[in-house]
Amino acid sequence: MAHDSNPTRSPLLVLGKISEILDAFTFDRPSLTLSGIHIATGIPTSTVQRLVTNMVSQGFLDRNGDQIRIGTRMAYWAATATRDLNVLAVVNPILKEIRDVTGETACFFRVEQNYRVCVAVAETHYALRREMHVGKIIPLTVGSAGRVLLAHSPELAANILSRKLEPMTEVSITDADTLRAVLTETLSDGYAITTGEREVGASGLSAPVFDSAADIIGALTISGPTFRMPQAQCESWVDLIVSQAQKTTRTLGGRYPA
């Protein structure tokens, strides 16, 4: 039987399996059993058991009964890695990835003085597009990004809802109780889809990004003309936008609210 002459092969294989195990944990499934890790990774059960035991001993993972989670020691490492990390340096490549997968414009919005502002954008390559640029200011009361930002900012939402809600189109929500109910639904869903609220014939799909204190720092958004982004198409991209928002949050050392 031939033997591998490369002395780095075995350590690299082990590191690859460790990475697969860590990647098995998501915000939707922060806790897994050994069987769950095996199913998620495809790594043999005996190997999973051996690696998990070692990872727990080193603080990579924490174990409580049969439930396994990412170790708290990892949070310390993440904090040092992301301390000086520029948010836009993380967001811009993710926006381009979303744009390349969907074909539509991908944006990142933040709250600035009771408005939402586009701070990063990867524009569609389609000739027909909805105008969007860095620095564009839009009311928080219209569009999917506004819903996401308000849903996770209760004090800001209370302030906005105490004022008169000005419409931008015929389908813009102008009743505070209706918008309050929509925000509750957005908070529960973890994303928002809107059509024609900000601009007639335009659709948007957004998901939140959080910092290490579980405070929202922005919304990832896919936007485009409704004839290319009808409701069914937006719904088919929900997993994409949510997973990319989770990836952004994780890369920035953030966490989701409990």
Question: Quick one: 14 and 108 in the same domain?
Answer: no
Which residue's entry shows tokens 């290490």? 212
- Closest by alpha carbon to 183, among 206, 215, 209, 167? 206
CA 156/CA 30 separation, integer angstroms: 29
Which residue's entry shows tokens 């075995």? 10
- For 22-42, write each residue's pLDDT tens digit: 988 876 788 899 999 999 999
Please report which helix (H) or strand (E) contains residue 142, including its range: none
Q: Domain for residue 235, yes or no? A: yes
Question: Quick one: 223 and 246 in the same domain?
Answer: yes
Q: Of 57, 76, 95, which residue constitutes the final position of a domain? A: 76
CATH value at residue 165:
3.30.450.40
Question: Quick one: 207 and 97 in the same domain?
Answer: yes
pLDDT of 1 > 50? The answer is: no
Sheet with 31-32, strands from edge to edge, namely 31-32, 67-70, 61-64
Confidence at residue 84, expressed as pLDDT on a 0 to 100 scale: 47
- For 85-142, write each residue's pLDDT tens digit: 578 889 999 999 999 999 999 999 999 888 999 999 999 999 887 788 888 899 999 9
Q: Of 53, 76, 99, which residue constitutes the final position of a domain? A: 76
CA 121/CA 97 separation, integer angstroms: 11
- For 91, counting Cβ atoms within 10 Å of its Cβ (0-12 exposed, 13-18 middle, 19+ buried), the class is buried
**Encoding tokens for residue 110?**
């933040």
CA 183/CA 28 separation, integer angstroms: 21
Distances 61 to 79, 146, 231 between C-alpha atoms, Å: 17, 36, 40
Strand blocks (E) in 123-201: 137-139, 192-195
217: alpha, beta or left? (left if phi > 0; alpha if psi -120 to 50): alpha
Question: Quick one: 61 and 105 in the same domain?
Answer: no
State which residues form the domain around 25.
9-76
Q: Of 76, 95, 130, which residue constitutes the final position of a domain? A: 76
